[in-house]
Structure 1
Amino acid sequence: MKDPFAHTFSIVARDSITGEMAVGVQSHWFSVGALVPWGKSGVGVVATQSFVNPAYGPNGLALMEKGKSAVNALKELISKDEGREYRQVAFLDANGKASAFTGANCVESASHYVGENFSVQANMMLNDDVIPAMKKAFITNPKLPLAERVVMALQAAQDAGGDIRGKQSAALIVVGPNKVENSWEDKKIDLRVDDSDNPLAELERLLKVARAYEYMNRGDLAMEEENVEKALEEYGNAEKMFPKNLEMRYWKAVALANSGRIKEAIPVFKSIFEEDENWRTMTLRLPASGLLNVSKTDLKLIVE
């Protein structure tokens, strides 16, 4: 086979409440996120692995966008693939219907399980415990946000034995329930760990950072709407997750200053400047951009 390797375990899943869809994957192969996970908001998600035929990603999504179910879309593409017995593929559509295929020539331990709103699949595993572990982890954690739930399923697979070769890379994508007009709005979460001794731990860390920056983004939006109290709340939530992150502390201080709470803002600014003088320079530049709306007197108090 000339097709690229991506022997691995993965999950495609949908949140029955929010309608979000996700693909999570880990492998002992470099940059698994470049090959295995595919998704489109309002359409579906795809995981294509083993001896990978990447065309299953865009072609599968195109068929589902035209109205074909995950079952029929996968069946159509499998029937046309002469290398099908080396493939492992899973489709999930926006209705939560999943379908999976494991070719006879996939390296054992190889299997899949299709459930309601999800499918888990794995090949070249250490043992046959991986699929049951992923299934159990996903089913028994329905209250978690989808991304965290998917990462938990991946961790359960690793804990059960995982890839017989070990671990190297991981990826996670989440798309929304509705089609979007702009392609850059398509993925709500798009995280990749291309090379790591512990890719799932790094993926989990990145997901936490992503969640913190979701608070930051909501804070920025609140500032645009001149809702300073809401901005402070959102920036504060981000800061709680990463209290040592200067960026998160800084914009909270800016929000405090913009709301007239200069006395509260100054010590926050000072603590940041002590760690990195560049933020002082940054502060002097903000008024011209309209991002810091304070008097010259107050600006001097902040930066002196």
Structure 2
Amino acid sequence: MMKQFLLFFALIFISTINTKAQTAEISGDAFAHTYSIVARDAKTGEMVVGVQSHWFSVGPLVAWGKSGVGVVATQSFVNPAFGPEGLKLLDQGYTPEEAVESLINNDEGRDFRQLAILGKSGDNAAYTGQKCVAEAEHLNGDNFSVQANMMLNDEVVPAMAEAFVENANLPLAERVIAVLKAAQDAGGDIRGKQSAALIVVGPDKVEEVWKDKKIDLRVDDHENPIEELDRLLKTARAYEFMNRGDLAMEEGNVEKALEEYGTAESMFPDNLEMRFWKAVALANSDRLDEAKQIFDRIFEEDENWRTMLKRLPKAGLIDVSEEEMEMLTE
């Protein structure tokens, strides 16, 4: 009887030591208990990571991507090395499944990890460690993988997958916003909401590092991070038209610039800068009376834009005479 007792005690002791050893492997790792999606647009080849968590600034921890290579989401007790290392393995020719297997097999904290990798062809693989906090699971589909841990219920991941499939008509970034909203509507993170992020990379490799991410948005701390992420995406879309307007101005295509600026303004009519550059385009196309009406309303709200307008001739951004400039700024 005494021998059996001693054996039982020894087994408990060994089990406790093993548990402490495993926990030690993740003791310094950041939390990112969360839900996320990695996905590809079959039409454009763009790839995306979308994520939300009740944790400060989840984006830099979870979301990784490289144009022409793939995207990675690393979460739960985060091993941040999975991001750059996963992309490196994809770039070396590993399949997503091989990359996941290689990373997980070389990580002693594997039981606490959650990882998803998607390559440029849309192939994807995911892993959920057996000690990720419930509810925790992943689901792989055609050109996407959705994964979550520490959810309120087991309906979150299926809701994400369904939303991705049902919103195939949307651009990829907007499609992922719909997925994140579906996750939240299904219950989301059991702790609530705090931060979110969205990155989109292209189908082809780029030489200039600043062109690598086509969209890179973060909400580090907000009471409604997905709604804020949605707002930022809409703003980013509007500024895409502003950028096209700027390019048209550089090329001397005033009518094209006017069209692009007008589209941006229609998306955000209260944005003074969008209205300002539309007025500049009008002035450059000799539609001075229309331009002045817009400028006057802008100056009533903020006098700094009057000073700004006076500086444009020297920069070559507006082509009007001194008399015309005086008329526009009086």
Q: What TM-score comes out, normalization by structure 2 length? A: 0.91
- Looking at structure 1, the residues matched to 208 and 316 of structure 2 have their Cα atoms a distance apart, in angstroms, of 28
- State the alpha-carbon separation in 2 of the partners of residues 237 and 301 from structure 1: 27
Would you identify which runs of 4 or more consecutive aligned residues in structure 1 move more than 6 Å? none
**Inter-partner Cα distance in structure 1 for 2:259 and 2:93:** 42
For 2:249, the aligned partner's letter is M
2:13 match: none
For residue 70 of structure 1, report the CA deviation from its aligned partner. 1.2
In 1, Cα distance between equivalents of 2:267 and 2:296: 21
CA RMSD, 1 decimal: 0.6
1:47 — aligned with what?
73
Residue matched to 1:249:
275
Aligned partner of 2:239 among 183, 199, 213: 213
Q: Distance in 2 between matches of 1:299 and 1:67?
A: 60
Deviation at 1:78, TM superposition (A): 1.0
* Matched letter for residue 214 of structure 2: K
Partner SS for 1:75: helix
Three-state SS of the structure 1 residue aligned to 2:203 is coil
Q: 1:275 is aligned with what amino acid?
A: E
Matched, 1:154 2:212: no
Please list every run of 5 or more consecutive structure 2 residues that lacks an aligned counterpart in the other structure. Answer: 1-25
CA–CA separation in structure 2 for the residues paired with 1:250 and 1:148: 28
In the TM superposition, 1:227-246 aligns within 5 A as: 227-246=253-272
Q: Quick one: distance in 2 between partners of 1:175 and 1:259?
A: 37
Structure 2 residue 219 is the aligned partner of structure 1 residue 172: no
Counterpart of 2:304? Answer: 278
Paired with 2:97 and 2:252, the residues of 1 have a C-alpha distance of 48
Corresponding residue for residue 294 of structure 2 = 268
1:1-304 equivalent positions in 2, closer than 5 A: 1=26, 2-304=28-330
Helix, strand or coil at the partner of 1:92: strand
Output one character per residue of 1:279-300: Cα deviation in whole Å (capped at 9) or x when no partner. 0000111110001111111101
Shift of 1:72: 1.1
Alignment-mate amino acid for residue 106 of structure 2? K
Identity %: 69
The Cα of 1:145 is off from its aligned counterpart by 0.3
Q: 1-side partners of 2:204 and 2:177: how far apart?
A: 23
- Distance in 1 of aligned mates of 2:62 and 2:258: 39
Letter aligned with residue 188 of structure 2: G
Distance 1:244 1:84 in 2: 50
Specify the code of the residue in structure 1 equivalent to 2:219: V
CA shift, 1:260, in A, is 1.3
Specify every segment of 5 or more residues in structure 1 that has no aligned partner in the other structure, as ranges.
none
Cα deviations by residue, 1:30-75 (Å, 9 ceiling, x for unpaired): 0001200000001000000000000000000011111211111111
The 1-side partners of 2:242 and 2:310 are apart by: 21
How many residues are aligned here? 304
Q: Which amino acid aligns with 1:211?
A: R
Instruction: Measure, in 1, the Cα distance between the counterparts of 2:319 and 2:125.
Output: 55
Find the aligned partners of 1:225 and 1:288 in 2 and give their Cα distance.
18
CA distance in 2, matches of 1:112, 1:263: 59
Deviations 1:100-149 (A, max 9, x none): 00000000000000011000000000000000100000001111000000
Paired with 2:122 and 2:82, the residues of 1 have a C-alpha distance of 18
Residue 49 of structure 2 aligns with an amino acid whose one-letter code is: V
* Whole-angstrom CA distance in 1 between matches of 2:98 and 2:290: 60
CA distance in 1, matches of 2:180, 2:229: 10
The Cα of 1:230 is off from its aligned counterpart by 1.1
Structure 2: distance between partners of 1:154 and 1:265: 42
Deviation at 1:158, TM superposition (A): 0.3
Cα shift readout 1:241-260 (whole Å, capped 9, x = no counterpart) = 11000010000000111111
Higher share in helix: 2
The separation in 2 between residues aligned to 1:55 and 1:164, in whole angstroms, is 26
